Structure 1
């Protein structure tokens, strides 16, 4: 027969258990261990668990460049991690920056991609996406214009603040925003690469959507350079110079004054006239709305917008 346990020894054993540190029981391993997500920590994340960025302002990707990047990734991998954020109550992630790298990785047949996880709000994710895109050189002019517009509308940024965040000149920001005043048909030409940013900025000097659209059609049909477009637009804005009327010597424009006048027109996108008499005169800037007027004030440094 087995000896009966001594109750005192049982009590003593319990007392020792209360004094000695307990070793926690090791939990059984989970059959599918989810990665521990920490903000800023590089992870290898499955590409099929990363959703597209809903705040992306870029709409077009050069297929040839994407194939080149895919070939590079096949050979050397992804050098710079993409940035994502964890979706709540889900094992999925949402892309913030690095869409080209993600698309190229899929083309290269990669199942995982190095990623940095950030804990950011919708607003922060949107701002990071837009600013990162604007710092790149391969956005078309209309994509840049819409990106600046979103920063102004959604984040109430001034043009000065946008310039600081993206490393651009304030005047450059203003010129891109002005592209949104172009008729939609002309915006499409700029977005498709049929007209350049220089062409579009020059056409903005015309005073109506109809005249801009008609001029854009002719510029494209005749394959005009930006300089030729400037001359053509100047002629449309100053039809009196085409008439065969004798011009008095006093009405002759000094070449330096004329060049300054054209420079101002290109910079402001508005009709500018300089009346100069022996170094004295006046500068006349025509505007067709409050937005044009505000742009003049900003250019002169009289107002923050």
Structure 2
């Protein structure tokens, strides 16, 4: 317990040092830099600005409130990382959820790990740290990779080494950015997976991409079914790639008769051996009762 108290006292002492204009540390070579850089210091939340390089653009409010509740009970267990940009002024490198949650419950200070970094280094640290998170969607990861390549000027090979991923993995993520923005939004919102997106990339025309995307979402197609749909689009004469199975003649004829009889768009799934199922849609409880009465009257 005494050890923890001593550490907290040290943090408060460093905070005072950082507020002293005569000790404005701007580089690792400045006086007292070794006492601050690389140490955990209690910084005022008001002295910290968010990182413009943060790849995450949205934060789940519910999970943020849960984190805030945890911080209120246990405190900030893992310090945030900041870089010093001016006298008593800092910028977040990582830990924005902890920063936001702390502000949410009205904390005035937060334990911070201080670094001195230029814009490029800060961008790289923020992006690489966030890429390692498990809750980023595929588009957020792809955008982070793109920013690293464009703004830090690294090759895909160098990028794969820095983020610890195979080059093919990096390439697959970057290719997602060729999708129509509507499809990218659908992936971010969870309507389709990265596997669906990778299949749709093979359709060059964006209008056709959107047509197939709408079918995938409306019919809840699997990745395998989407791949087959794309193959059939590119090779329309190839019957073997069609996702629609041929049904026996008796079932096809029967579906038309049932549709006329029940005044509902009846669909039938049947295999060549005669097994299958009949699906009769209804619009309301009253419509269901109408269909049920028609079926009873045919007995």
TM-score normalized with structure 1 length: 0.66
- Work out the CA distance in 2 between the residues paired with 1:109 and 1:155: 36
- Work out the CA distance in 2 between the residues paired with 1:170 and 1:75: 43
Pick aligned residue for 1:76 from 67, 74, 91: 74
Contact 2:84 2:117 in 1 (8 A): no
In the alignment, structure 1 residue 220 sits paired with structure 2 residue 217: yes
Secondary structure, counterpart of 2:124 in structure 1: helix
Residue 205 of structure 1 aligns with which residue? 202
Secondary structure, counterpart of 2:237 in structure 1: helix
Q: Which segment is superposed worse, 76-85 or 234-243?
A: 234-243
CA RMSD of aligned residues (A): 1.8
Taking the TM superposition and a 5 Å limit, the aligned residue runs for 1:38-57 are: 38-57=36-55
**Which runs of 5 or more residues in structure 2 are unaligned?**
1-15, 26-35, 241-299
- Work out the CA distance in 2 between the residues paired with 1:112 and 1:104: 12
- Work out the CA distance in 2 between the residues paired with 1:116 and 1:216: 45
Secondary structure, counterpart of 2:238 in structure 1: helix
Contact 1:145 1:177 in 2 (8 A): yes
- Which deviations, in whole Å up to 9, do the C-alpha atoms of 1:181-235 show, x marking residues without a partner? 1112211211222221111111111232221111111111111121221122122
In the alignment, structure 1 residue 163 sits paired with structure 2 residue 179: no
Contact 1:82 1:101 in 2 (8 A): yes
Secondary structure, counterpart of 2:111 in structure 1: strand
**Which runs of 5 or more residues in structure 1 are unaligned?**
1-31, 244-305
Contact 1:85 1:96 in 2 (8 A): yes
Contact 2:131 2:144 in 1 (8 A): yes
- Work out the CA distance in 1 between the residues paired with 2:194 and 2:64: 24
In the alignment, structure 1 residue 63 sits paired with structure 2 residue 61: yes
Pick aligned residue for 1:85 from 77, 83, 93: 83
Taking the TM superposition and a 5 Å limit, the aligned residue runs for 1:145-156 are: 145-156=142-153
In the alignment, structure 1 residue 103 sits paired with structure 2 residue 122: no
Q: CA deviation at 1:67?
A: 1.7
Contact 1:203 1:233 in 2 (8 A): yes
- Work out the CA distance in 2 between the residues paired with 1:122 and 1:153: 14
Q: CA deviation at 1:87?
A: 2.2
Pick aligned residue for 2:129 from 94, 108, 132: 132
More helix by share: 2
- Work out the CA distance in 2 between the residues paired with 1:39 and 1:146: 30
Contact 1:86 1:94 in 2 (8 A): yes
Taking the TM superposition and a 5 Å limit, the aligned residue runs for 1:285-296 are: none
Secondary structure, counterpart of 2:146 in structure 1: helix
Q: Which segment is superposed worse, 188-197 or 138-147?
A: 188-197
Q: CA deviation at 1:108?
A: 2.9
Deviating beyond 3 angstroms after TM superposition, the runs of 4 or more aligned structure 1 residues are none
How many residues end up aligned between the 2 structures?
211
- Work out the CA distance in 2 between the residues paired with 1:227 and 1:78: 44
Q: CA deviation at 1:78?
A: 1.1
In the alignment, structure 1 residue 114 sits paired with structure 2 residue 111: yes
- Work out the CA distance in 2 between the residues paired with 1:91 and 1:115: 13
